[in-house]
Structure 1
Amino acid sequence: MVVDDSLIIRTVLARIIGQQPDLEVVSKSSSAELALKELAKIEVDVILLDLEMPGMGGLDALPKILTSAPKAQVLVVSSLTEDGAEHTLQALSMGAADTLAKPRAGEFGADYNNRLVEKIRALGHSQSRGNDRSESAGTPNIKPRRENLAKEKPEVLAIGASTGGIHAMCAMLAKLPRQFDLPILVTQHLPGSFMQVFAKQLELAASRTAVVAENGMIIQPRTVYIAPGGGHLTVEKRGSNLVVKIIDGKAPSGCMPSVDPMLESLAAATAGKAIAVILSGMGRDGAIGAEKLGRTGGTILAQDQDSSAVWGMPRAVAEQGLASAILPPADLALAIMSTAGAAAWK
């Protein structure tokens, strides 16, 4: 389903999708109100939703859309302006699965078309094939690695996420008590223009200071450090302090920012005294870093399939036998507190 008040955008998006033999546009709606009426009559796997429309608007309609089509995934098609970032991130925290920039004149090309189709396929498969990862429902035949639990008090909590991860992350962080004092490092696949707004969002969800990480920052307790859009968040040990080091270069996953460099740096800087949580997302970003962190004694936790928008990144660490627990977001918070020990949240 394509929901946009612009006839041109609806037509172009529908044409791109219609050229794929495995995808079908079952409905095009010019308003949220019309989309809700359509959803009462048809089933859809993926909804492309514009947020700024006359009438109800996509943001106000989103809760109703998610209720009307609980099995569908919502892909927000939005501008990359500051206002667009704020509205888009609000939608992602409310349950939309992913975002893609609304193209301007001259921006419809092979690269944009491929990214659009890739996102639709991933989100659609998450419904038709057991969250894009299994023919069966539920987390398929993967046993948590119970012995991979922290032997020493962790110094850092690190979170990696992509598609569908913001909603999960906010839910998980909201369950951590205010007294939880471990610093939190976050790598979320987002454009750089979104990061300052994302920091404000996490600050509210986590009830603690959240900043976009910069080179040389000393890692402090009860603070969230977010990877900038144009660099990988890593840390290094300087004396008794952990210090932010932003690096560039291509990561194995091809993502910018990437979860792997963050976790690899924690393996070295903390000698494995860290907890890593891998949340919903496409691909395998985080699997390489999680393996290195786990090998040095770190604890790896993964979001379960049923609660993930796309069970790619969590599945990658789970299938390698790296995850100590595979749980929905609220239960991941409990696992974090249990692993960190009472000293970390009194």
Structure 2
Amino acid sequence: MTFENTRDSFDTQSRDASGKVVRVMVVDDSLTARTVLGKVVDRTDDLSLVGTASSAEQAIGLLDTVVVDVILLDLEMPGMGGLAGLPHILEKSGGAKVLVVSSLTAEGAQETISALSMGASDVVQKPEPGQFNAEYRADLAKRIRALAGAPVSASFEQAADESARKVDEPELRKAPNKSVDCIAIGGSTGGIHSLVQFLGKLPKSIVTPIVVTQHLPNAFIPIFASQVETASNRPTRIAEDGMELKRGEILVAPGDGHVSFVRDGARAVVKITHEAVASGCCPSVDPMLATLGEVLEGRVIGVVLSGMGRDGQNGAKTLVENGGIMVAECEETSAVWGMPRGIAEAGLASEIAAPVDLAHWITRRTAVAV
């Protein structure tokens, strides 16, 4: 078996301000894709291409000889294929993060969402002819750094946003003792795997309505909603204008708008909005948390799971100011501790824990109110 191994180039890579070089492997059966993705890594000072493989089987074998931080993985390959190989790659890579390379269209969405549910951390656009430009290179490098826990940019004012540096133990906010009319969940990079774990431990006896905002391309949302329904064993719908919260059901934000809520008499109903938000995300977690906090007068538990950036922090502040409760995923289980870190460092969280433990915590909080 022959591998394309560039491990010898590792020591020649220059480093960013943090001194960290991110070790990357590219797994794709297309020579063109391997070449394009490999060039992005080779031309970025703080990234090092330690190996490439044209199949999942080759990647698994190569992991015996190299140490990797991030693996770029195509799912559609001859032989075992990326999806079937993913559990073996995750197990053998010693904690490396997997970045799925996808067309970001409805075709292949099922496999991509399945991979994200199984433990892949993020998805990136598969390079098309002529797409190898500065914007594409910058976005890919940013995603790789975030997954590896390296600073996103040495010049950006939040350069250490996704860094691996330890912070002081955040102080927890005392949770108000009140009924809960909704559980609102937000996530991004790594958030789908965390969400599946969370929902899997939330008992069916909890019939509190659930709303989910997950950063995903719009073409992926129907498949994502189906995965959520399976993981939660609850009816799940994509949110549309005029829908109302229903006990025992889940609403999922569409991929091309923010799910917000307005008061219609005694009902809290959905209003899909498209305003610009501070995070630049669409859909954004901020409008969901802020409007639910206002419309339901704080009878909400907000959950922020793994994700890059600070989306959700502004909305969480509004929710808490209205008497709501916020919890966040801990650093140890987050693929990227960005979004939950924003909640924690702002002093908005009443609990910071792994997804399964957050589910147990919420079960205890809502048991009386259900």
Answer whether TM exceeds 0.5 for this pair: yes
- Alignment deviations for residues 216-268 of structure 1 (CA, whole Å, 9 cap, x no partner): 11211111111111100011111121101000021110000000011110121
- Aligned pair 1:142/2:144, yes or no? no
**Equivalences for residues 1-346 of structure 1 within 5 A:** 1-125=25-149, 132-136=162-166, 140-145=168-173, 147=174, 149-344=175-370
Contact 2:284–2:311 at 8 Å: present in 1 too?
yes
- 1:199 match: secondary structure: helix
Contact 2:181–2:209 at 8 Å: present in 1 too?
yes
Alpha-carbon shift at residue 131 of structure 1 (Å): 10
Contact 2:206–2:366 at 8 Å: present in 1 too?
no
Using the alignment, how far apart are the partners of 2:248 and 2:100 within structure 1?
31
Alignment coverage as a number of residue pairs: 340
Deviates more, 1:258-267 or 1:335-344: 335-344
- Alignment deviations for residues 1-32 of structure 1 (CA, whole Å, 9 cap, x no partner): 00000011001111011111101110011111
Using the alignment, how far apart are the partners of 1:168 and 1:131 within structure 2?
20
Change beyond 3 A, Cα 1:126–1:273: farther
- 2:139 match: secondary structure: helix
Please, what TM-score do these two structures have when normalized by structure 2?
Answer: 0.89
- 1:306 match: secondary structure: helix
- 2:297 match: secondary structure: coil
Contact 2:292–2:319 at 8 Å: present in 1 too?
yes
Percent identity, please. 48
Alpha-carbon shift at residue 150 of structure 1 (Å): 3.4
Alpha-carbon shift at residue 143 of structure 1 (Å): 2.5
- Alignment deviations for residues 71-117 of structure 1 (CA, whole Å, 9 cap, x no partner): 10000001223241110000000000000121222223222222111
Moved over 6 A (4+): none
Using the alignment, how far apart are the partners of 1:256 and 1:52 within structure 2?
28
Using the alignment, how far apart are the partners of 2:33 and 2:342 within structure 1?
35
For structure 2, which runs of at least 5 residues remain unmatched after alignment? 1-24, 152-159
Structure with greater contact order relative to length (CA < 8 Å, sep ≥ 6)? 1
Using the alignment, how far apart are the partners of 1:228 and 1:54 within structure 2?
33
- 2:293 match: secondary structure: helix
Contact 1:131–1:310 at 8 Å: present in 2 too?
no
Alpha-carbon shift at residue 40 of structure 1 (Å): 1.1
- 2:32 match: secondary structure: helix
Change beyond 3 A, Cα 1:306–1:108: same
Please, what TM-score do these two structures have when normalized by structure 1?
Answer: 0.95
Contact 1:150–1:273 at 8 Å: present in 2 too?
no
- 2:49 match: secondary structure: coil
Change beyond 3 A, Cα 1:92–1:212: same
Using the alignment, how far apart are the partners of 1:55 and 1:341 within structure 2?
48
- 2:149 match: secondary structure: helix
Using the alignment, how far apart are the partners of 1:222 and 1:150 within structure 2?
23
Using the alignment, how far apart are the partners of 1:115 and 1:179 within structure 2?
42
Using the alignment, how far apart are the partners of 2:245 and 2:135 within structure 1?
38
Contact 1:46–1:74 at 8 Å: present in 2 too?
yes
Using the alignment, how far apart are the partners of 1:153 and 1:261 within structure 2?
22
